[in-house]
Chain A
Amino acid sequence: DADVTQTPRNRITKTGKRIMLECSQTKGHDRMYWYRQDPGLGLQLIYYSFDVKDINKGEISDGYSVSRQAQAKFSLSLESAIPNQTALYFCATSPGAFLSTDTQYFGPGTRLTVL
């Protein structure tokens, strides 16, 4: 079984709809992250969580919200989807033992299309 799973893997929705992307991990890591990737671009950080009670905004958090339901679960919501949120979304986790050497491991991704 994969250590980091994301659901759904593909989603097509319409403008204005609320969408939730879910991430679960069995790695036992404290830290979880949400990124988006647009064609030809690197990954941009949306939100990150260093533990269940700690949620932080990344570089592109506008239009998104998150919920850390448990150590193993981190959900990303688009309250009212718009077409320019069409992208590939990745969840990642890291153990968090040392800030300066923390290694991130990625889930398989969710391809979201907003029409």
Chain B
Amino acid sequence: NAGVTQTPKFQVLKTGQSMTLQCAQDMNHEYMSWYRQDPGMGLRLIHYSVGAGITDQGEVPNGYNVSRSTTEDFPLRLLSAAPSQTSVYFCASSYARVHEQYFGPGTRLTVT
């Protein structure tokens, strides 16, 4: 099993550009989530999904969109990148929302 995979590993964007961060898991987990991690602030939940076709907002959803068309994939879209979105983004999956989560390797995003 590959577990949770994320692409790309690194990305530099200019302000105003859009892009999609990819996330996939092969563990047949229903629950998937996106976090951002900034120095001194811990992991903050952006969006999450409890199953295909169902998504909801987390703690810091503004500026991001998600969709969940399959159990395996949960892409995160940045609509119009801003320097405040410079961060490390982690995708995670779990059997259920309060079970232990398994993380992908992360995407380091810089917005200039």
Pair from one complex: no
Residues in chain A within 8 A of chain B (CB atoms): none
Residues in chain B within 8 A of chain A (CB atoms): none
